[in-house]
Structure 1
Amino acid sequence: MTQWKQIQQLENRLLEHVDYLYDDNFPMDIRQGLSSWIESQDWEIAANDESMAAVLFTNLLSQLDRVRLQEQNFLQRHNMKIIQQQLQVKYATNPAVMARVISTCLREERRILSSACMQEQGPLEKSLQNSVAFERQKNMDNRVGLIRASVQLMDQAVKYIEDIQDDFDFRYKTLQSRDPRPNSETMKQEVTRLQEMLNRLDFKRKEILSKMDVVIKDIDDLMTSQLNPELQDWKRRQQIAAIGGPLLTGLDQLQSWFTLTAQSLFQIKRQLDKLVELVVKVTYESDPIPLQRPQMEERIKYLIYHLIKSSFVVEKQPCMPTHPQKPLIIKTGVQFTTKVRLLVKLPEVDYQLKVKTTFDKDLPPGRVRQFFILTNNTKVMDIEDYSNGCLSVEFRHLQLKEKKYINGTKGNEGLLSVTEELHYLSFEACFTVQGLTIDLETCSLPLVVISNVSQLPGGWASVMWYNLLTDEPRNLAFFGNPPRATWSQLSEVLSWQFSTFAGQGLNREQLTMLGEKLLGQHASCSEYQVSWSKFSKENIPGKPFGFWMWLDSILELIKKHLLPVWNENFIMGFVSKEMERCLLKDRRPGTFLLRFSESHLGGITFTWVEHNDNGEVKFNSVEPYTKNRLSALPFADIIRDYKVISDGVVPENPLKFLYPDIPKDEAFGRLYNSQPSKVHPYIASTLIPISELRSHASTTPLSCQSPEPPMTPGEFNMLNEHLCFDIDTVTQPHFTELLFWK
Structure 2
Amino acid sequence: MAQWDRLMGLPDAYTQQLHELYNRDALPMDVRHYLSVWIEKQEWERAAHDYDLAMALFQVLLENLDIQHSRFVQEESFLMKHNIRRYKQNFQRYLDDPCGLANTILWFLGKEKEILKSADLVEQVECLHVAPEAMEMTSQQDLERKLSGLRNEVQSTLSDLNKLLNKTDDLIDILVKKELVEWQRRQQKACIGAPDNVLLDQLEKWFTCVAGYLFQVREFFGKLDELVEKLTYENDPVKAQKPTMQKRAETLLKDLLKSSFVVETQPSMPQGKGPLVLRTNVQFSVKTRLLVKFPELNHSMKVSVSMDREAPQIKGYRRFNVLGTKSKALNMAESQNGGMVADFRHLTLKEQKAGGGGKGVSDISLSVTEELHIIYFDTVFEMKGVSVELQASSIPVVIISNSSQQQSAWASVLWFNLLRQQQKYDTCKVTWSKFSKENTPDTFWVWLDGILVLVKTYLEDLWRDGLIMGFVNKGKEKSLLKKKQRGTFLLRFSESVIGGITFSWVEITITGAPGVKTVRPFTKADLCQIPFHEIIRGYQILEAENIPENPLLYLYPNTPKDEAFGKYYSEKTGSDRKYIRTKLVFVSKEDTLEAKSPMSFDMTRGEGLEPMNSLCEEAAEQNQSPASPLETFHPDPMLSDSFAATDDELLRFLNSPNSFDDSGSDILQDEAGLLDCGLTGYNCLPQQSCGSIFQ
Cα 1:399/1:410, change in 2 over 3 Å: farther
Distance of 2:542 and 2:507 partners within structure 1: 15
Q: Check the 8 A contact 2:301/2:330 in 1, yes or no.
A: yes
Partner SS, residue 382 of structure 1? coil
2:557 aligned with 1:660: yes
- The corresponding residue for 1:144 is none
Q: Could you tell me which residue of structure 1 aligns to residue 425 of structure 2?
A: 484
Q: 1:486 to 1:252 in 2, by over 3 A?
A: farther
| Residue identity matched to 2:225 | V
Where do 1:99-118 residues align within 5 Å? none
CA distance in 1, matches of 2:272, 2:477: 35
The 1:187/1:581 distance shift into structure 2, 3 A limit, reads closer
Q: 1:537 aligns with which of 425, 434, 437?
A: 437
RMSD (Å) for aligned C-alpha atoms:
4.4
Counterpart of 1:636 in 2: which secondary structure? helix
One of 268, 280, 284 as aligned partner of 1:336: 284
Q: What does residue range 594-613 of structure 1 map to in structure 2 within 5 Å?
A: 594-613=491-510
Q: CA deviation at 1:192?
A: 10
**Distance across 2 between alignment mates of 1:564 and 1:238:** 26
Residue 297 of structure 1 corresponds to which residue in structure 2?
246
- Greater C-alpha Rg: 2
| 1:552 aligned partner | 449
Match of 1:432 among 382, 393, 417: 382
Q: Secondary structure at 2:498's aligned position in 1?
A: coil
Q: Assess, with a 3 A threshold, how the Cα gap between structure 1 residues 201 and 692 changes in structure 2: closer, same or farther.
A: same
Which amino acid is the alignment partner of residue 329 of structure 1? V
Q: Does 1:642 align with 2:539?
A: yes
The answer to whether the 8 A contact 1:469-1:483 is kept is: no
Does 1:358 find its partner at 2:255? no
Deviation for aligned residue 1:693: 3.4
Instruction: Return closer, same or farther for 1:650/1:350 CA change in 2, 3 Å cut-off.
Output: same
Q: Which residue of 2 aligns with 1:315?
A: 264
Paired AA for residue 338 in structure 1: V
Q: 2:221 aligns with which of 272, 277, 280?
A: 272
> For each residue in 1:425-445, what CA deviation from the matched residue of structure 2 results, as whole angstroms up to 9, or x when unmatched?
111001101111111111112
| Change over 3 Å in CA distance of 1:410–1:340 after alignment to 2 | farther
Q: Which amino acid aligns with 2:366?
A: L
Q: Counterpart in 2 of 1:452?
A: 402
The residue that corresponds to 1:417 in the other structure is 367
Look up the match of 1:582: 479
- In structure 1, distance between residues paired with 2:408 and 2:484: 41
Cα distance, 1:719 vs structure 2 = 11
Alignment of 1:98-497 (within 5 A): 204-224=153-173, 227-245=176-194, 247-248=196-197, 251-284=200-233, 287-323=236-272, 326-363=274-311, 367-383=316-332, 389-405=338-354, 414-470=364-420, 483-484=424-425
CA 1:403 to 1:723, structure 2 compared with 1: closer, same or farther past 3 Å?
farther
- One-letter amino acid of the structure 1 residue matched with residue 566 of structure 2: G
The answer (yes or no) to whether the contact 1:276–1:289 under 8 Å persists in 2 is no
Calculate percent identity across the aligned residue pairs.
Answer: 42
Could you tell me how far 1:579 is from its partner in structure 2? 2.8
Deviations 1:326-351 (A, max 9, x none): 33222334333322222223333233
Is the partner of 2:469 in helix, strand or coil? strand
Distance 1:555 1:470, change over 3 A: closer
Among 598, 623, 641, the alignment partner of 2:520 is 623
Q: Secondary structure at the match of 1:536?
A: helix
Moved more, 354-363 or 450-459: 450-459
Q: Give the alignment's TM-score, normalised by structure 2.
A: 0.60
Residues 380-431 of structure 1 deviation map (CA, whole Å, 9 limit, x = unaligned): 2122797664322332333323233378999997412222211111110011
Rounded to whole Å, the distance in 2 between the matches of 1:270 and 1:200 is 26
Q: Distance in 1 between matches of 2:351 and 2:392?
A: 23
> Contact between 1:694 and 1:734, CA under 8 Å: does it hold in 2?
no
Q: Structure 1 residue 604: deviation in Å? A: 0.6
After TM superposition, give the deviation of residue 221 of structure 1 in Å.
4.6
What's the CA shift for 1:270?
Answer: 0.3
Structure 2 unaligned blocks of 5 or more: 1-131, 621-695
CA contact (8 A) 2:601 2:607 kept: no
Q: Is the 2:519–2:613 Cα contact (8 Å) retained in structure 1?
A: no
Task: State how far apart, in whole Å, the 1-side matches of 2:603 and 2:338 are.
Answer: 71
Return the letter of the residue paired with 2:397.
Answer: L
- The 3 A distance-change label for structure 1 pair 191 and 616 is closer
Give, in angstroms, the shift of residue 612 of structure 1. Answer: 4.3
Higher relative contact order (CA closer than 8 Å, sequence separation 6+): 2
For the residues of structure 2 that align with 1:282 and 1:587, how far apart are their CA atoms? 94
Q: Write the deviation string for residues 176-197 of structure 1: whole angstroms up to 9, x where unpaired.
A: xxxxxxx9x9999999999987
Q: Which moved more, 1:210-219 or 1:406-415?
A: 406-415
**Conserved 8 A contact 2:377-2:393:** yes
Say if 1:594 and 1:604, in contact at 8 Å, map to a contact too: yes
Other structure's SS at 2:256 match: helix
2:406 counterpart letter in structure 1: L
The residue type equivalent to 2:475 in the other structure is E
- TM-score with structure 1 setting the length: 0.56
Contact 2:499 2:523 (8 Å CA) reproduced = yes
Are the counterparts in 2 of residues 370 and 410 from structure 1 also a CA contact under 8 Å? no
Whole-Å separation in 1 of the counterparts to 2:334 and 2:318: 40
Tell me how far apart the structure 1 counterparts of residues 510 and 474 of structure 2 sit (CA, whole Å): 24
1:111-162: CA deviation from partner (whole Å, max 9, x where unpaired): xxxxxxxxxxxxxxxxxxxxxxxxxxxxxxxxxxxxxxxxxxxxxxxxxxxx
CA contact 1:371–1:402 (8 Å) conserved in 2: yes
- How far the C-alpha of 1:691 sits from its partner, in A, is 2.4
Contact 2:585 2:601 in 1 (8 A): no
**Offset of residue 354 of structure 1:** 1.5
